Amino acid sequence: MQPVKITALLILIALVAVFTFQNTQAVEVRLYFWSFTLSISLLLLATLMVGLLCGMLLMVLNSMMRTRRKQTAGTDNTLSDRKDSLWDS
């Protein structure tokens, strides 16, 4: 790794550590019939992870749809080429 990347990573880790130690207050989270208590930093970390997972899932689904569209577009072109060749005969 380049020294700049290592330095940026260390600064980011330090900021996350400071944020975690400064936000240890417990909060109650209620979702319908569930209720639990955890620190603000853990709640934000869990929210970040859920957001990242949702984004990754959407990215994978989008990639799969693009691949499927390319495959079907390729078969449409070959079918139209075949029709043209049949009419030429």
Angle in degrees, CA 44, 50, 51, rounded to 5: 90
pLDDT of residue 87: 55
Q: pLDDT truncated to tens, each residue of the chain (89 aa)?
A: 698 999 999 998 999 889 888 888 999 989 899 999 998 988 888 898 999 999 999 999 999 998 888 888 766 555 555 555 555 55
pLDDT of residue 84: 52
- Rounded to whole angstroms, the Cα distance separating 23 from 44 reads 10
> Are the C-beta atoms of 39 and 24 separated by less than 8 Å?
yes
pLDDT of residue 74: 67
Q: What's at 28, amino acid-wise?
A: E
> Are the C-beta atoms of 62 and 80 separated by less than 8 Å?
no
Strands 34-39 and 26-31: antiparallel
